[in-house]
Structure 1
């Protein structure tokens, strides 16, 4: 029987699900990188979340590895080129947490527009300020979605009923407009968007994609919603755009550096400035992280692994 190593915490359903399709499972969420390097040669399958980068050093030692499963959507912690060179199949599970992320994106956007984060803190401190917490309505706004994969599509679907125009841009697709979003060029989004929502993976192309020059292309001052990857925009750019007024506000589920005790001096400087802005709302990368998605991710991964077994392995 082939064996799969799981190196991150997963919903408990993952073990019986894999066993049902013929896999022996070693569930070792406590394992350290050094131990992975020593033992990876034994396994035909590997499931990861975010414990460590699956780089060439690990891949070169994975003599028997047939597939790697990423419990989530992003592949930025995997050396995809090295895996493909070894013909190691990659499966991920964006279908498992797209609903969670879409709902969270709506929640933090509405929270930002209605100053929920500020009003809650003020009332707890005995301050009842209605005028200071006057909100902004979503109806009538234009939302520009960058990246129209599983996450972007799920978010667009949730925007139905809010009376917004939804424009979507995806560099790597054609004819993707649907009942929930109109296919658009970036020029159209630059001209019309009131809200910019990111749904792109982290690649060399998208790393710090939102810089000063990018934001200045927008005709209007805009709101930013980022539930994608923190390194799509730096703390420095966020602060400068907020201070100039180009960003009217930001709802951020991700940060340039999410190890907040390990900021560089420059990151710490700009983060300290960023958190002084009341028109920014933060959540700790939980957009796709619900009780339901925790289990749905397993179901999605195992269905794809079963398909690999049936078709290619």
Structure 2
């Protein structure tokens, strides 16, 4: 089997080559994301693997079909870059990947703790050589109510880790998880928003979850709530969040993702102007912790992604089905 990988992280190149050799498949690597400009490179390959920046819209999928591609996998869990209906119509097979949920789970607990203890503000004060304690009084996690929105594998990992801190954990998900039912109290979304001291997002990006936290949602929340988002940036209306931070409704935010991040995250802007208005504003707020969509980025997760992506393509060829199949 020949697989063409698009948009591979530098640290994953060796993993791709090693795991491919172990699984007996041929691989080639294109460092840039899949697009209409380079889709022709897929000619002669029956399978390709992509990342979140790749264009998997109807036009690109049509060209992939034309060049003989049958199977597609992504090294990510999210697949909002895929035109699912077009993929089905063209009879292409597509699978997302799975990876260690502990990577994001542990990062989330860290984000909650640093938000409650005002670490971002503390670092800002240190850079100004202000060594006073003014404004640094924090909160202890065991006294808080934490609302977990989305209890899939990552949400479950977060719940299990939080359970050791003694805090009250409430959750909302359309499908309640038996894995964590004894650790959380499931409530309607509105009640989770109203009762939580900390809200952490672990929902997929769908039409129904776009701007899940908007102006109306923030008005519903407690004063001084902390917001953590290690899922998808578009779950939060950035302008509404900024307004809530400025008003004090939100006391702190830890964001590993933001809206419209694709042109900025993963690139070096140290000598370039950032034209993303919301990102500029958030970067200059003392009560906001911004990270560059790397909550997943551990050695174990990187290996898991590559292995899952290759295995899915082999499964498609051998049996026509794989565990993480989307279409």
| CA distance in 1 between partners of 2:36 and 2:190 (Å) | 48
Residues 157-208 of structure 1: per-residue CA shift (max 9 Å, x gap) = 221211112122112x145443443332223313321111111222222222
CA deviation vs aligned residue, 1:184-237 (integer Å, no higher than 9, x gap) = 222331332111111122222222221111222335552111111112223211
Alignment pair present for 1:3 and 2:11: no
**2:85 equivalent in structure 1:** 81
Deviation at residue 297 of structure 1 after TM alignment:
1.5
Quote the offset at 1:271 in angstroms: 4.2
Q: Evaluate the alpha carbon distance shift between residue 214 and residue 263 of structure 1 in structure 2; reply closer, same or farther with a 3 A threshold.
A: farther
- Tell whether the 8 Å contact from 1:190 to 1:218 is kept in structure 2 after alignment: yes
- 2:289 matches 1:281: yes
CA gap of 1:93–1:60, structure 2 versus 1, over 3 A, is same
Normalising by structure 2, we get a TM-score of 0.84
Distance 1:251-1:6 versus aligned 2 partners, 3 A rule: same
- 2:307 equivalent to 1:299: yes
Native 8 Å contact 1:235 1:274 kept in 2:
no
Contact 1:40 1:61 in 2 (8 A): no
Match of 1:47 among 42, 46, 49: 49
Answer yes or no: is the 8 Å Cα contact 2:254–2:289 preserved in 1. Answer: yes
User: C-alpha distance in 1, partners of 2:50/2:320?
Assistant: 21
| SS class of match (2:130) | coil
The 3 A distance-change label for structure 1 pair 116 and 217 is closer
CA deviation string 1:90-119 (max 9, x = no partner): 22223x142111111111221122122332
Q: CA RMSD in A?
A: 2.5
Shift of the 120–222 alpha-carbon distance from structure 1 to 2, 3 Å rule, reads closer
Paired with 2:130 and 2:217, the residues of 1 have a C-alpha distance of: 39
Aligned equivalents of 2:88, 2:273: Cα separation in 1: 32
Q: Distance in 1 between matches of 2:95 and 2:85?
A: 14
Q: Residue in 2 aligned with 1:134?
A: 137
User: How many angstroms apart in 1 are the aligned matches of 2:298 and 2:141?
Assistant: 25
Question: What is aligned with 1:71?
Answer: 75
- Stretches of structure 1 that go unaligned for 5 or more consecutive residues are none
Distance 2:282 2:22 in 1: 49
Shift of 1:263: 6.5
2:325 aligns to what? none
Q: Is residue 238–residue 274 contact of structure 1 (8 Å, CA) maintained in 2?
A: no
Gaps of 5+ in 2: 265-271, 322-327
* Residue 245 (structure 1) aligns with: 248
Q: 1:180 to 1:242 in 2, by over 3 A?
A: same
Deviation at 1:138, TM superposition (A): 1.0
Tell me the number of residue pairs that the alignment of Structure 1 and Structure 2 aligns: 307
Could you tell me how far 1:81 is from its partner in structure 2? 1.9
Verify the 8 A CA contact 2:54 2:81 in the aligned structure 1.
Answer: yes
- In the alignment, the residues of structure 2 paired with residue 236 and residue 191 of structure 1 have an alpha-carbon distance, to the nearest angstrom, of 20
Paired residues of 1:197 and 1:226 also in contact (CA < 8 A): yes
Question: Can you list the C-alpha shifts for 1:231-277, whole angstroms capped at 9, x where unaligned?
Answer: 2223211111122332122111111122347876xx52x44443443
| Matched residue SS, 2:142 | coil
Q: TM-score, normalised by structure 1?
A: 0.87
Secondary structure of the 1:160 match is helix
Residue 22 of structure 2 corresponds to residue 14 of structure 1: no
CA distance in 1 between partners of 2:233 and 2:303 (Å): 25
d(CA) in 1 for partners of 2:242, 2:232? 17
- The answer (yes or no) to whether the contact 1:7–1:51 under 8 Å persists in 2 is no
Q: For 1:225, what is the secondary structure of its paired residue?
A: strand
Quote how far apart the aligned CAs of 1:7 are.
Answer: 0.8
- Check whether the contact 2:75–2:308 (CA below 8 A) recurs between aligned residues: no
Answer yes or no: is the 8 Å Cα contact 2:72–2:313 preserved in 1: no
Decide which moves more: 122-131 or 245-254. 122-131
